[in-house]
Structure 1
């Protein structure tokens, strides 16, 4: 039972940081980030309000919450990128994503607005990431909960994984 929970919680596995980030790997992550909104829209296209309430595991978020979470999370990440590019190793502000997932705009029964946000956001994000294509051009932010310096190039990998992670959750929920 525990293995089943782990496979549903992390259906593609946890993010594994590579020892080094080659320019080719970074470009793959940028493509993944650029393509995420359309992949997400395709997964939820035609789902009814009831189908959007399906979960990928007991206690997990609904498809609807996952879509809104991606918009919320990716907006926060985009802002962190911009802060790190314009400031010297800023300390970012975390947010309480579990509480955000319970706000009325998330529980509305409509994912259209978050899909629109993600389309515009990811177009801008991919363009911004292209400016970081040279590994010598990397910037960092500090996460206050861990005091860890996070490279923007590594964070691009984390968010490429994040999108695929939640697409897998949605596929699991739809298969139930």
Structure 2
């Protein structure tokens, strides 16, 4: 039972599963989720105290501020992955150690202002790029060496929409439990 609870805390909205059919309407919904993310995360965190920023979303999980800083790091990598796939033939992307990045000084800053500004600009730019991808380009791919597989751009849009919603749920969860489990 404890394992199921921990799994639910780790994946409060479940894991991403690519649908068998990815149509234009679904892609548009995903892009809108991505575009809304900076406002949603800013709203959730705008009045938090330093103590609240230290609340983890699960036992041995990141705290709220680490989640916010991680989203900026991850989504900076995402736009680079999209651009590589759009300009190169099936490039192999460079993974990074997100757990190690979360321990760096900028991943533990109690001031979220610059990270929220970065997310706002980054997601505006990402939205412009994603809305410009043609149907033919949606089939372009990149290779992720950690997963040992190719990812199509249409699926990757879904992954980052899920990722945004996944981490919003983490912050809501940390606030609900007040960092105590």
Q: TM-score range by the shorter chain?
A: over 0.9
8 A Cα contact 2:55 2:175, kept in partner: yes
**CA offset at residue 128 of structure 1?**
0.3
2:137 is aligned with 1:137: yes
Distance (whole Å) between structure 2 residues aligned to residue 130 and residue 80 of structure 1: 16
1:7-86 map, 5 Å: 7-86=8-87
Structure 1 runs (4+) greater than 2 angstroms displaced: 134-137
Distance (whole Å) between structure 1 residues aligned to residue 163 and residue 152 of structure 2: 16
Distance (whole Å) between structure 2 residues aligned to residue 65 and residue 146 of structure 1: 24
Aligned residue pairs total 175
Distance (whole Å) between structure 1 residues aligned to residue 31 and residue 109 of structure 2: 31
Which blocks of at least 5 consecutive residues in structure 2 are unaligned? none
Q: TM-score, normalised by structure 1?
A: 0.97
8 A Cα contact 2:58 2:174, kept in partner: yes
8 A Cα contact 2:142 2:150, kept in partner: yes
Aligned to 1:165: 166
8 A Cα contact 2:90 2:143, kept in partner: yes
**CA offset at residue 136 of structure 1?**
2.3
**What CA deviation, in whole Å up to 9, does each residue of 1:81-123 have, x standing for no partner?**
1111111111000000000000011112111111111000000
Q: TM-score, normalised by structure 2?
A: 0.94
Aligned to 1:94: 95
Distance (whole Å) between structure 1 residues aligned to residue 102 and residue 137 of structure 2: 35
Distance (whole Å) between structure 1 residues aligned to residue 107 and residue 148 of structure 2: 30
SS for the counterpart of 2:151 is: strand
Distance (whole Å) between structure 1 residues aligned to residue 57 and residue 82 of structure 2: 30
